[in-house]
Amino acid sequence: MTNRYLKLAFCTANNAYLAICILGVASASATTTPNNILASYHAVYAYKLGETSVDIIRTLETINGQYKLNLSVSSMLAGFNETSIFKIEKQRIKPIKYTYKGTGLNRRKSSNDFNWPKGIVRSFYKDKWYSLDIQHLSLIHI
């Protein structure tokens, strides 16, 4: 396991609900095993401007041969938790599940459940479920 302290710029925006641009100090740790293609890691970012503070946690972990990528952003007014579960097959990322849940003033929710044998993705957007055909070469947010 390695620990690093970095100075970095981090920007994220999510449908105009939350836009954060920070320059601060981050701590990160990563571990890898011979069977994993990607290294597990845990990174914590903290930013404070006056009385406003934002905490950002980014993790990647391996669970039963699948990867779980998580981004959690929280502040006094709003935040969100975004999780992607995927696996790597034949050197390609194959999404399994994606969820987004806003907190505080950000109440947005979305979810995508991928059913590869049936070739469909069930998608929850604006309080409704949709079934869509999986297009193998389409851009998928993970």
- On whether the CB atoms of residues 72 and 84 are closer than 8 A, the answer is no
| Alpha carbon distance 44, 34 (integer Å) | 25
Grouping H, G, I as helix, E, B as strand and the rest as coil, residue 82 is: strand
| Alpha carbon distance 46, 70 (integer Å) | 16
- Burial label, 50 (beta-carbon count in 10 A; 0-12, 13-18, 19+): exposed
What global pTM score does this model have? 0.70
In the predicted structure, residue 104 carries a pLDDT above the cut 50: yes
Q: What is the mean pLDDT of the chain?
A: 75
Gyration radius from the chain CA atoms: 17
pLDDT of the residue at 82:
95
Q: How confident is the model at residue 84 (pLDDT cuts 50, 70, 90)?
A: very high
In the predicted structure, residue 140 carries a pLDDT above the cut 70: no
Segment 69-83 mean pLDDT: 92
pLDDT of the residue at 5:
33
